[in-house]
């Protein structure tokens, strides 16, 4: 069974690229609007959630806060083109953001982040079983 991954970004070209790159390995769901993101988040219960920081309708950190409430066991990745880790240190400290990555993402770095999320999932499943 493929691990469900959800990616929220207003740059549709990056969503398409992500789906093309990782769709064979993961159960990829994407959204470019907040309404679609909230709907998909509630429907698919992803193990890995990725969000861009700078979004038109909501900040990525606020979206990941919502995601943490809906899917508390998910592994959450924040992407940004301009912020530094210090800009989201509170969210990292609270566990809202578990991985911070520059945007645009590079395939190898994203692959490592997804693998880390998959390992966390296996650990959770082992504890639940």
> Given the structure tokens 């809906």, which residue do they identify?
70
pLDDT at 105 over 50: yes
Residue 97 confidence (pLDDT): 84
pLDDT surpassing 80 at residue 83? no
Task: Report how far residue 124's alpha carbon sits from residue 92's, in angstroms, rounded to the nearest whole number.
Answer: 20
3-state secondary structure of 46: coil
Q: Is the pLDDT of residue 129 over 50?
A: no
pLDDT, mean over the chain? 86
Encoded tokens for 77: 């990745």
Length reported for the chain: 129
pLDDT-based confidence at 128, cuts 50/70/90? very low
Give the long-range contacts of residues 28-31, CB within 8 A, separation 24 or more.
Answer: 29/4, 29/5, 30/6, 31/6, 31/7
Q: Is 114 a residue whose pLDDT tops 70?
A: yes
Tell me the two tokens of residue 81.
Answer: 């083109």
């Amino acid at each position: 069974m493929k691990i469900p991954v959800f990616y929220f970004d207003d740059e549709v070209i990056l969503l398409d690229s992500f789906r093309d790159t990782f769709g064979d390995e993961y159960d990829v769901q994407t959204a470019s609007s907040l309404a679609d993101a909230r709907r998909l988040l509630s429907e698919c219960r992803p193990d890995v959630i990725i969000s861009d920081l700078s979004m038109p309708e909501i900040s990525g950190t606020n979206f990941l806060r919502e995601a943490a409430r809906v899917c508390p066991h998910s592994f959450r990745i924040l992407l940004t083109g301009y912020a530094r880790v210090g800009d989201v240190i509170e969210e990292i400290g609270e566990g809202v953001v578990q991985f911070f990555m520059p945007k645009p993402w590079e395939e190898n770095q994203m692959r490592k982040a997804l693998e880390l999320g998959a390992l966390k999932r296996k650990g959770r499943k082992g504890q639940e079983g």
